[in-house]
Amino acid sequence: MKVKNIEHITLSNAWANLKRIDFDYKFKNGQWKRLSRETYNRGNGAAILLFNRQKQTVILTKQFRMPIYENSQEESFSIEVCAGAIDNNDSALETILREVREETGYIINTANLVLSTYTSPGALTEKMYLFVASYDHTNKVNEGGGLLEENEELEVLELSFERAIEMVGSGEIRDAKTILLLQYAQIKRLMHLS
Ligand SMILES: Nc1nc2c(ncn2[C@@H]2O[C@H](COP(=O)(O)OP(=O)(O)O[C@H]3O[C@H](CO)[C@@H](O)[C@H](O)[C@@H]3O)[C@@H](O)[C@H]2O)c(=O)[nH]1
Ligand SMILES: [Mg+2]
Protein backbone atom coordinates (compact mmCIF):
# COMPACT_ATOMS: atom_id res chain seq x y z
CA MET A 1 0.00 0.00 0.00
CA LYS A 2 1.28 3.44 -0.98
CA VAL A 3 -0.79 5.61 1.40
CA LYS A 4 -2.27 5.15 4.91
CA ASN A 5 -3.63 7.09 7.91
CA ILE A 6 -5.58 9.48 5.69
CA GLU A 7 -7.10 12.45 7.54
CA HIS A 8 -9.50 14.98 5.95
CA ILE A 9 -9.54 18.52 7.34
CA THR A 10 -12.21 20.85 5.91
CA LEU A 11 -10.70 24.28 5.22
CA SER A 12 -13.75 25.73 3.48
CA ASN A 13 -17.20 24.43 2.76
CA ALA A 14 -18.95 27.28 0.95
CA TRP A 15 -19.76 27.04 -2.78
CA ALA A 16 -17.51 24.01 -3.07
CA ASN A 17 -15.32 22.09 -0.69
CA LEU A 18 -11.67 22.73 0.04
CA LYS A 19 -9.91 20.12 2.18
CA ARG A 20 -6.44 19.57 3.47
CA ILE A 21 -5.69 15.88 3.31
CA ASP A 22 -2.86 14.61 5.51
CA PHE A 23 -1.56 11.15 4.76
CA ASP A 24 1.41 8.83 5.14
CA TYR A 25 3.10 8.15 1.80
CA LYS A 26 5.62 5.37 1.15
CA PHE A 27 8.53 6.44 -1.06
CA LYS A 28 10.30 3.94 -3.34
CA ASN A 29 13.18 3.65 -0.85
CA GLY A 30 10.72 2.27 1.73
CA GLN A 31 10.59 5.41 3.86
CA TRP A 32 7.15 6.59 5.08
CA LYS A 33 6.58 10.35 5.31
CA ARG A 34 3.58 12.42 6.47
CA LEU A 35 2.43 14.63 3.56
CA SER A 36 -0.29 17.26 3.11
CA ARG A 37 -2.27 18.12 -0.04
CA GLU A 38 -5.04 20.67 -0.44
CA THR A 39 -7.81 19.42 -2.75
CA TYR A 40 -10.69 21.46 -4.11
CA ASN A 41 -13.88 19.53 -4.85
CA ARG A 42 -16.49 21.26 -7.03
CA GLY A 43 -17.71 18.02 -8.59
CA ASN A 44 -17.17 16.76 -12.10
CA GLY A 45 -17.84 18.50 -15.40
CA ALA A 46 -18.90 17.98 -18.99
CA ALA A 47 -17.95 19.87 -22.15
CA ILE A 48 -18.82 19.60 -25.83
CA LEU A 49 -17.56 20.62 -29.26
CA LEU A 50 -20.49 21.37 -31.57
CA PHE A 51 -19.40 21.07 -35.20
CA ASN A 52 -20.97 21.41 -38.64
CA ARG A 53 -19.16 19.48 -41.38
CA GLN A 54 -20.98 21.16 -44.28
CA LYS A 55 -20.18 24.68 -43.14
CA GLN A 56 -16.87 23.68 -41.50
CA THR A 57 -17.82 25.65 -38.40
CA VAL A 58 -17.83 25.14 -34.64
CA ILE A 59 -19.80 26.75 -31.81
CA LEU A 60 -17.76 28.25 -28.97
CA THR A 61 -18.58 30.61 -26.11
CA LYS A 62 -16.84 33.62 -24.63
CA GLN A 63 -17.24 34.56 -20.97
CA PHE A 64 -15.59 36.39 -18.10
CA ARG A 65 -13.63 34.02 -15.82
CA MET A 66 -12.62 35.42 -12.41
CA PRO A 67 -9.91 32.81 -11.73
CA ILE A 68 -8.22 33.86 -14.99
CA TYR A 69 -8.62 37.55 -14.05
CA GLU A 70 -6.75 36.78 -10.82
CA ASN A 71 -3.92 35.32 -12.86
CA SER A 72 -3.83 37.72 -15.81
CA GLN A 73 -6.41 40.52 -16.18
CA GLU A 74 -6.07 40.98 -19.93
CA GLU A 75 -6.85 37.31 -20.57
CA SER A 76 -10.01 37.17 -18.44
CA PHE A 77 -12.53 36.75 -21.28
CA SER A 78 -12.14 33.09 -22.11
CA ILE A 79 -13.12 31.37 -25.35
CA GLU A 80 -14.35 27.89 -24.51
CA VAL A 81 -16.45 25.02 -25.72
CA CYS A 82 -19.87 24.82 -24.06
CA ALA A 83 -19.41 23.27 -20.59
CA GLY A 84 -21.04 22.84 -17.24
CA ALA A 85 -20.76 21.32 -13.83
CA ILE A 86 -22.52 17.97 -13.35
CA ASP A 87 -25.25 18.21 -10.70
CA ASN A 88 -25.60 15.43 -8.14
CA ASN A 89 -28.00 13.01 -9.80
CA ASP A 90 -27.45 13.87 -13.45
CA SER A 91 -25.33 11.95 -15.92
CA ALA A 92 -22.59 13.64 -17.91
CA LEU A 93 -24.73 13.29 -21.06
CA GLU A 94 -27.86 14.83 -19.44
CA THR A 95 -25.71 17.66 -18.17
CA ILE A 96 -24.16 18.47 -21.52
CA LEU A 97 -27.45 18.36 -23.46
CA ARG A 98 -28.90 20.85 -20.94
CA GLU A 99 -25.83 23.11 -21.06
CA VAL A 100 -25.95 23.18 -24.87
CA ARG A 101 -29.53 24.49 -24.70
CA GLU A 102 -28.86 27.03 -21.92
CA GLU A 103 -25.50 28.33 -23.12
CA THR A 104 -25.69 28.12 -26.92
CA GLY A 105 -29.43 28.16 -27.70
CA TYR A 106 -29.21 24.95 -29.74
CA ILE A 107 -31.14 21.78 -28.94
CA ILE A 108 -29.38 18.51 -29.65
CA ASN A 109 -30.66 15.08 -28.63
CA THR A 110 -27.45 13.14 -28.46
CA ALA A 111 -23.69 13.51 -28.19
CA ASN A 112 -20.64 11.21 -28.35
CA LEU A 113 -18.33 10.89 -25.39
CA VAL A 114 -14.80 10.92 -26.84
CA LEU A 115 -12.38 11.70 -23.98
CA SER A 116 -12.31 12.12 -20.23
CA THR A 117 -9.69 14.13 -18.40
CA TYR A 118 -8.63 15.30 -14.94
CA THR A 119 -8.51 19.03 -15.47
CA SER A 120 -5.94 19.90 -12.79
CA PRO A 121 -4.87 16.74 -10.94
CA GLY A 122 -2.55 18.52 -8.51
CA ALA A 123 -5.36 20.56 -7.02
CA LEU A 124 -8.84 19.66 -8.26
CA THR A 125 -10.80 16.43 -7.82
CA GLU A 126 -12.62 17.31 -11.05
CA LYS A 127 -12.93 14.83 -13.88
CA MET A 128 -14.33 16.24 -17.11
CA TYR A 129 -16.24 14.28 -19.73
CA LEU A 130 -15.64 15.58 -23.26
CA PHE A 131 -18.25 15.16 -25.98
CA VAL A 132 -18.66 16.02 -29.66
CA ALA A 133 -21.92 16.47 -31.60
CA SER A 134 -22.93 17.85 -34.96
CA TYR A 135 -25.33 20.78 -35.24
CA ASP A 136 -27.04 22.81 -37.95
CA HIS A 137 -29.42 25.78 -38.12
CA THR A 138 -32.47 23.54 -37.54
CA ASN A 139 -31.18 22.88 -34.00
CA LYS A 140 -31.21 26.56 -33.09
CA VAL A 141 -34.10 27.62 -30.79
CA ASN A 142 -32.84 30.89 -29.27
CA GLU A 143 -29.74 33.05 -28.82
CA GLY A 144 -28.42 31.14 -25.77
CA GLY A 145 -26.10 33.12 -23.54
CA GLY A 146 -26.60 31.28 -20.24
CA LEU A 147 -29.16 31.70 -17.46
CA LEU A 148 -29.37 35.22 -16.08
CA GLU A 149 -31.02 33.85 -12.90
CA GLU A 150 -27.83 31.84 -12.36
CA ASN A 151 -25.73 34.93 -13.12
CA GLU A 152 -24.38 33.48 -16.32
CA GLU A 153 -23.48 35.70 -19.26
CA LEU A 154 -21.88 34.20 -22.34
CA GLU A 155 -21.42 35.29 -25.90
CA VAL A 156 -22.05 32.54 -28.47
CA LEU A 157 -19.50 32.39 -31.30
CA GLU A 158 -19.82 30.48 -34.54
CA LEU A 159 -16.34 30.28 -36.05
CA SER A 160 -14.81 28.48 -38.98
CA PHE A 161 -12.86 25.44 -37.80
CA GLU A 162 -9.78 26.84 -39.50
CA ARG A 163 -10.03 30.08 -37.50
CA ALA A 164 -10.56 28.17 -34.23
CA ILE A 165 -7.42 26.09 -34.82
CA GLU A 166 -5.54 29.28 -35.70
CA MET A 167 -6.69 30.77 -32.36
CA VAL A 168 -5.20 27.81 -30.50
CA GLY A 169 -1.88 28.50 -32.22
CA SER A 170 -2.01 32.25 -31.58
CA GLY A 171 -2.90 31.82 -27.90
CA GLU A 172 -6.33 33.46 -28.25
CA ILE A 173 -7.81 30.15 -27.09
CA ARG A 174 -6.19 29.13 -23.81
CA ASP A 175 -8.72 26.81 -22.21
CA ALA A 176 -7.46 23.21 -21.96
CA LYS A 177 -10.75 21.36 -22.58
CA THR A 178 -11.32 23.54 -25.65
CA ILE A 179 -7.85 22.91 -27.05
CA LEU A 180 -8.26 19.16 -26.43
CA LEU A 181 -11.56 19.00 -28.29
CA LEU A 182 -10.44 21.16 -31.22
CA GLN A 183 -7.30 19.06 -31.63
CA TYR A 184 -9.38 15.87 -31.28
CA ALA A 185 -11.54 17.06 -34.19
CA GLN A 186 -8.41 17.76 -36.21
CA ILE A 187 -6.68 14.43 -35.45
CA LYS A 188 -9.81 12.36 -36.03
CA ARG A 189 -10.64 14.34 -39.17
CA LEU A 190 -14.11 15.36 -38.02
CA MET A 191 -13.30 18.52 -39.93
CA HIS A 192 -10.77 19.36 -42.64
CA LEU A 193 -8.19 22.11 -42.80
CA SER A 194 -7.25 23.58 -46.14
N1 LIG B 1 -21.95 31.70 -5.83
C2 LIG B 1 -21.10 31.06 -6.56
N3 LIG B 1 -21.51 30.63 -7.76
C4 LIG B 1 -20.62 29.97 -8.52
C5 LIG B 1 -19.31 29.71 -8.10
N6 LIG B 1 -18.68 29.03 -9.07
C7 LIG B 1 -19.58 28.85 -10.05
N8 LIG B 1 -20.76 29.42 -9.72
C9 LIG B 1 -21.98 29.41 -10.51
O10 LIG B 1 -22.13 28.13 -11.03
C11 LIG B 1 -22.48 28.17 -12.39
C12 LIG B 1 -21.49 27.29 -13.14
O13 LIG B 1 -21.86 27.25 -14.48
P14 LIG B 1 -21.63 25.95 -15.34
O15 LIG B 1 -21.86 26.33 -16.77
O16 LIG B 1 -22.34 24.78 -14.74
O17 LIG B 1 -20.09 25.60 -15.11
P18 LIG B 1 -18.85 26.32 -15.76
O19 LIG B 1 -18.42 27.44 -14.92
O20 LIG B 1 -19.03 26.54 -17.23
O21 LIG B 1 -17.77 25.19 -15.56
C22 LIG B 1 -17.36 24.29 -16.56
O23 LIG B 1 -16.08 24.60 -16.94
C24 LIG B 1 -15.21 24.64 -15.82
C25 LIG B 1 -13.87 25.15 -16.24
O26 LIG B 1 -13.26 24.30 -17.16
C27 LIG B 1 -15.14 23.32 -15.14
O28 LIG B 1 -14.36 23.42 -13.98
C29 LIG B 1 -16.53 22.82 -14.78
O30 LIG B 1 -16.50 21.48 -14.34
C31 LIG B 1 -17.44 22.92 -15.96
O32 LIG B 1 -17.15 21.97 -16.93
C33 LIG B 1 -22.42 29.60 -12.85
O34 LIG B 1 -23.73 29.97 -13.17
C35 LIG B 1 -21.93 30.39 -11.66
O36 LIG B 1 -22.89 31.39 -11.45
C37 LIG B 1 -18.90 30.21 -6.82
O38 LIG B 1 -17.75 30.03 -6.38
N39 LIG B 1 -19.84 30.87 -6.11
MG1 LIG C 1 -20.65 26.80 -18.40
For range 112-140, the mean pLDDT: 97
Q: Are residues 57 and 143 in the same domain?
A: yes
Q: Give pLDDT, residue 194.
A: 65
* Residue nearest atom 17 in ligand 1 by C-alpha distance: 84
ipTM above 0.90, yes or no: yes
Q: Are residues 103 and 162 in the same domain?
A: yes
Q: Are residues 181 and 103 in the same domain?
A: yes
| Within-domain flag for 193 | no
For range 99-122, the mean pLDDT: 97
Q: Are residues 56 and 35 in the same domain?
A: no
Q: What is the spatial distance between Cα 126 and Cα 43, in angstroms, rounded to a whole number?
A: 6
Task: DSSP letter for 86, please.
Answer: P
For range 122-146, the mean pLDDT: 95
Q: Which residues line ligand 1 (CB under 6 A)?
A: 15, 45, 47, 83-85, 99, 119, 126, 128, 150-152, 177
Helix (H, G, I), strand (E, B) or coil at 181: helix
Question: Cβ atoms within 10 A of the Cβ of 104, count?
Answer: 29
Q: What is the residue range of 28's domain?
A: 3-41
Average pLDDT score, the chain: 96
The pTM assigned to this predicted structure is 0.96
| Within-domain flag for 158 | yes
Minimum-distance ligand 1 atom for the alpha carbon of 152: 34
| Within-domain flag for 154 | yes
Distance 30 CA to ligand 2 centre (A): 45
Q: Are residues 33 and 57 in the same domain?
A: no
| Within-domain flag for 23 | yes
Helix (H, G, I), strand (E, B) or coil at 62: strand
Q: Are residues 34 and 56 in the same domain?
A: no
Where do runs of H (alpha helix) occur along the chain?
66-71, 92-99, 161-170, 176-187
Closest ligand to C-alpha of residue 16 is 1
- To test ligand 1's pocket by mutation, which of 151, 154, 156, 174 has the most ligand atoms within 8 angstroms of CB? 151
| Within-domain flag for 194 | no
Q: What is the spatial distance between Cα 110 and Cα 116, in angstroms, rounded to a whole number?
A: 17
Structural domain count of the chain:
2
Q: Are residues 32 and 52 in the same domain?
A: no
The 10s digit of each residue's pLDDT in 56-73 is 999 999 999 999 999 999
Q: Are residues 86 and 159 in the same domain?
A: yes
Q: Are residues 36 and 50 in the same domain?
A: no
Which CATH number covers residue 72?
3.90.79.10
Q: Are residues 126 and 113 in the same domain?
A: yes
- To test ligand 1's pocket by mutation, which of 93, 129, 152, 154 has the most ligand atoms within 8 angstroms of CB? 152
Q: Are residues 49 and 10 in the same domain?
A: no
Structure confidence at residue 88 as a pLDDT band (50, 70, 90): confident
* Residue nearest atom 6 in ligand 1 by C-alpha distance: 15
Q: Give pLDDT, residue 1.
A: 84
- To test ligand 1's pocket by mutation, which of 42, 69, 86, 127 has the most ligand atoms within 8 angstroms of CB? 42
| Within-domain flag for 77 | yes
- In sign, the C-alpha dihedral spanning 88, 118, 123, 60 is negative
Q: Are residues 18 and 52 in the same domain?
A: no
The 10s digit of each residue's pLDDT in 150-184 is 999 999 999 999 999 999 999 999 999 999 999 99
| Within-domain flag for 34 | yes
